[in-house]
Amino acid sequence: MTRARAHAQILLACLFVAGLGIRAYHLQDPPLDFHPTRQYHSAVIARGCYDRAAAGRSDRARRIAIANGASRPVIEPRIMEVLACGEYRPIREEQLWIPRFFSSLFWVIGAADSPCSPFEPAHPWAP
């Protein structure tokens, strides 16, 4: 590895950490800052998934949340909703910052694996 490439990797890693830090600053704000309809849609689906196995909720509240989550059309794969649901269960409550953190993390991982990145590609067929 050349010295210039090593410097580029260090600089890019610092930019990624700074990007995550900037995103983490407003991580716990209400999720209505960008495309609120989509964020509400995802939150309702994740809540319906979580309420299927959640303890401590009234039966009526559980039925309503599950029905609301099931009534939403599938407009994209429910990857973030399933990840959020899986993280809500161990902490036993909904925390809307969890899917926002996953979203930020996935953006950084995607940027690190982009063709413009000085990092080695994660897959052998990459240029």
Q: Report yes or no on 24 lying in a domain.
A: yes
Query: Is residue 123 predicted with pLDDT exceeding 70?
Result: no
Alpha carbon distance 110, 122 (integer Å): 10
Of the candidates 99, 119, 126, 77, the one whose C-alpha atom is nearest the C-alpha of residue 31 is: 99
For 13-27, 43-57, 82-96, which range has the lowest pLDDT when averaged over its residues?
43-57
Q: What is the DSSP letter of 126?
A: -
When divided into structural domains, the chain yields a total of: 1
How many Å apart are CA 127 and CA 123, to the nearest integer? 9
Asked whether the predicted pLDDT for residue 6 surpasses 60, the reply is yes
Examine the pLDDT at 49 and tell me if it is beyond 70. yes
Give the structural domain span for 68.
3-112
Query: Would you state the structure tokens that stand for residue 64, as one six-digit string?
Result: 């309503």
The answer to whether residue 123 sits within a structural domain is no
Give me the pLDDT at residue 64, please. 83
The more confident residue out of 81 and 111 is 81
Q: Is residue 41 part of a domain?
A: yes
What does the mean pLDDT of the chain come to?
Answer: 79
Could you tell me if residue 118 is inside a domain? no
Give pLDDT, residue 124.
Answer: 59
The answer to whether residue 119 sits within a structural domain is no
Reduced to 3 states (helix: H, G, I; strand: E, B; else coil), residue 118 is: coil
